[in-house]
Each structure stands twice: as structure tokens, then as C-alpha cells.
Amino acid sequence: MDEGTIRRLLQEVRDGAVSPDDAVAELRHLPYTDLGFARVDHHRHVRQGMGEAVYGPGKTPDQAARIVAELLARSDTASVVLTRADAAQVAAATDANPGATVCGTTVVWRPAPPRPERVLLLTAGTADLPVADECAATLTAHGFVPRRLTDVGVAGIHRLLEHTNELADAHAVVVVAGMEGALASVIGGLTGAPVVAVPTSVGYGAGLQGVTALLGMLASCAAGISVVGIDNGYGAACAVTRLLLTPGRVRAAADAEHQELHR
């Protein structure tokens, strides 16, 4: 349940279209709904500006489909995201809940309307694309339309340099890179925008399944880079969403306080 749904419900009570008792029954589900195997958090969107995502691994196809259905039922507009889903979970969830967009292992229902912020999503190599796809799908769910620059790693840095104007104009940049993770440091030195780095498990033996890229990004000499876990494209998208949505929420709260003081 998101703020828009709550406002719509309160408006309907005021207009007499919904009785107070029916509104109370609806709000009873606001904190969470207990499905027996999961307690679905309906209040997360109100608290964080982002709804609960459904993490596929460990769930049966039916469980994934039922959690998605519950999230869709309790909000009129909030997006719903299913991540790391296998083929059976995707089939069950999309059959039970039409209108989905599938991007690799990520499924999105009701993506938010496009927002104006400019987000760049870079991959060092083609092998990083599955992680970038997860990030892109999650960004789209929250209304961001990322501009993707693929295969611009440091082994051929000239492929990146023609895009320096875009880096300068970006509001946020996500860098997805394996091997030694050096691309994050390069980007951190070329733009003043927030940079969220995603180490991937791509690389030869010394890459240690992403550990080398993770440590390289954490040790970057480009100050202020944020680093998420290995292969965590979803987490990177959520970090960008928090970074870009929080200023608007702060301004809205300040405006409301200002109006209240000057009544």
C-alpha cells in the first residue's frame, strides 16, 4: 500500500463512497498480511518510498505468485518486483498476475511513470550484462529510464571517453564491473554525480568470484563511491532510488511545514 492508495481511500471516506468500517478493514492490512509462509510488508512503500521486492530463490513457484498477487492487490499504483526468479517462478507469477514485463530473471508489474533524472548504467564488459539487466529492470520499476553504456571497460578506455559529457550531466551513475573493478575508480574521477559500484563475479582465477573487484572498489582512490555486494544489481538500483527520491521527499516535508507555520 502506497501513499496514493491511502489518500484515495481517505478521499472516498470523506466523499461518502466508502464507509468508515470498510476503510478500517482495508487499513487493517496496512502493516502486513500473513500468508502463512510469508508476512508481506505492505507498509514498506510508505516508510521507504519503495515497496517490498519478492526474492525468488528458496520459494516455490506458487509462493512467488501468491506474494506478487498480494502486493498487487493492496495498492493501486505501486510497482512490484520479482527478482532472481527461475523459469518456473516466472511462468507461475506471470500466469497468475498478467501485465508483467520480464527482463532476464527480473519481473516487473506496474512500473512507475518515467522520471526526469538522468541515470547512466555502465558495464565494463558484455559478461556483466545479466547483473546490469537486473539493475535496469529495478530502476525502471521505480520510474528511472537508465541510459546504458555497454562494454566500456578499462582494457579499452577510449570506448568510454567519448561519453564524458553524458557523465558530467548525469544525476547518478551505476558501474557494473568484474575482473579488478577498476572502471568504478575511473568513473568516480570523471563525474561529480553519485556513483554506485557493483562488483560482479566475472573474472579469471585471481578475480576470486568477484572478491577482487569488490575490494578494488572499496579501496578506490575516487572519494565517495558507494559499493554494493557482488552481483547485486537490484541493490544498486535501490541505492540510486534512495539517493534521487530523498531530496524530493525532504522538500515536500519542508514545504508542508512551511505552509503549516504560515496558516
131 in the same domain as 105:
no
Chain center to CA of 153? 24
Q: Quick check: is 250 in a domain? A: no
Q: Quick check: is 258 in a domain? A: no
Q: Quick check: is 255 in a domain? A: no
40 in the same domain as 150:
no
153 in the same domain as 41:
no
**What is the spatial distance between Cα 219 and Cα 167, in angstroms, rounded to a whole number?**
22
104 in the same domain as 204:
no
Evaluated on CA atoms 194, 198, 204, 207, the torsion sign reads: positive
220 in the same domain as 125:
yes
211 in the same domain as 140:
yes
Each residue's pLDDT tens digit, 194-204: 999 999 999 99
101 in the same domain as 146:
no
- The position carrying cell 505501486 is 78
Residue type, 194: P
Each residue's pLDDT tens digit, 113-165: 999 999 999 999 999 999 999 999 999 999 999 999 999 999 999 999 999 99
Cell of 25: 478493514
Alpha helices for 118-195 (secondary structure H): 129-141, 158-161, 164-169, 182-190
Pairing of strands 80-83, 32-34: unpaired
Q: Quick check: is 177 in a domain? A: yes
Q: pLDDT per position in the chain (263 positions), as tens?
A: 556 666 777 787 788 887 877 766 666 556 767 678 887 776 676 666 767 789 999 999 999 999 999 888 877 778 899 999 999 999 999 999 999 999 999 999 999 999 999 999 999 999 999 999 999 999 999 999 999 999 999 999 999 999 999 999 999 999 999 999 999 999 999 999 999 999 999 999 899 999 999 999 999 999 999 999 999 999 999 999 999 987 655 454 455 555 556 56
208 in the same domain as 182:
yes
Chain center to CA of 223? 24
85 in the same domain as 42:
yes
Range of the domain at 12: 3-110
